[in-house]
Homo-oligomer: A and B are copies of this chain.
Amino acid sequence: MTVSAEPVVSFGDRLAGVFATQGQLCVGIDPHSWLLREWNLPDTAAGAESFGRAVVAAAAGRVGLVKPQVAFYERFGSAGFVALERVLADARHAGLLVIGDAKRGDLGTSALAYAEAWLSPGSPLEVDALTLAAYMGVGSLDSSLSLAAAHGKGVFLLAATSNPEAADIQKAIVAEGSHAGSSVARAILDEVGERNGCTSGTIGGAASAGVAPGLGSIGVVLGATLDLAVFGIDVHQTPTEFRTPVLAPGFGHQGGNIMDLISIYGGYADGVIVSESRSVLSAGPHRIEEAIERRVAEVGAVRG
């Protein structure tokens, strides 16, 4: 990997810029079979391309972030990836920050190859940030994180997700090492916080006062319908950790209420990406702009 000689603007700084000018709403791009039907599009790669480009066109100028769900393109094989590449190109040209929701995860050179695919400038699948799953440990992704940082890219690691089947793993208690006694979800949050230059654990007010503001470039996924306390995550504690951005699915259709943003995410609230898919996409091709504007206003009213 070659580190560019030019200074790169970090993903965290770009995200903070988007938040300041365009708010915290992110529009998902999820071409489900049934949504394509509702939009009067064929359930093909061409249909998924038309859908994605229409969502990008509706999002541009209204929000700062979009999140394509890769699975719904991958189901069409290489033709689906051709479609996705065109959607990504449109989004880049529109100046949107793009989060590729791919949930990739592997080891060593394979993990690095995924990062090259999605986070290298000039790659056909280039996005601004990628979701990753760390079943093989956060450390298994360090080469991906380095590549991301070198190019001003971001990643979001799954930490606590909203589905009940996740409890076995995400609430399991780490048995050894520096995170012993933490839940797995909390350990991932702490490992990410450390990599964002935060200090983990309980911190006195004096020590934390000197930490630079701004957002880190390594985020986590924390579902909006969860009580994070059951994972041992206290969102009102340890203010220096709050540099970690949070990708928050679960508002809207899944039942999370944007009015509860502060009570759910506490000190993390300023760094939360409010990700909505179905609540916006099901408005259909003729009403999606209106649906996006309404949600932007609702999120903006809460964030003031």
- B-contacting residues of A (Cβ < 8 Å)? 30, 32, 69, 71-72, 74-82, 84-85, 101, 103-111, 113-114, 116-117, 123-125, 133-140, 142, 158, 161, 163-177, 179, 183-184, 187
Contacts and interface: CB of A to CB of B under 8 A. Distances in A.
A107 to B, nearest CB: 5
B77 A85 contact: yes
Contact of A169 (B106, B110, B125, B134): B134
Contacts of A105: 103, 105, 133, 135
A124 B74 contact: no
A184 B77 CA distance: 32
A165 B165 CA distance: 24
Nearest to A78: B81
B114 A71 contact: yes
B168 A174 contact: yes
B179 A166 contact: no
A161 B136 contact: yes
Contacts of A166: 135-137, 140
Contact of A168 (B170, B171, B184): B184
A133 B125 CA distance: 22
17 contacts: A72-B110, A72-B113, A74-B117, A77-B125, A80-B117, A133-B135, A135-B170, A140-B163, A167-B176, A168-B174, A168-B179, A169-B169, A171-B174, A171-B176, A172-B172, A172-B175, A172-B187
A72 B134 CA distance: 19
A252 to B, nearest CB: 15
Contacts of A125: 74, 77-78
A174 B135 CA distance: 15
A161 B71 contact: no
A138 B172 CA distance: 14
A255 B3 CA distance: 32
Nearest to A79: B124
Contacts of A123: 75, 77
A78 B124 contact: yes
Given A104-B103, A172-B184, A173-B175, A137 B163 contact: yes
Most B Cβ at <10 Å: residue of A69, A78, A110, A187: A78
A3 B153 CA distance: 42
A134 to B, nearest CB: 7
A194 to B, nearest CB: 13
B78 A78 contact: yes
A181 B164 CA distance: 18
B77 A168 contact: no
A123 to B, nearest CB: 6
A51 to B, nearest CB: 14
A71 B172 CA distance: 29
A35 to B, nearest CB: 10
Contacts of A80: 117
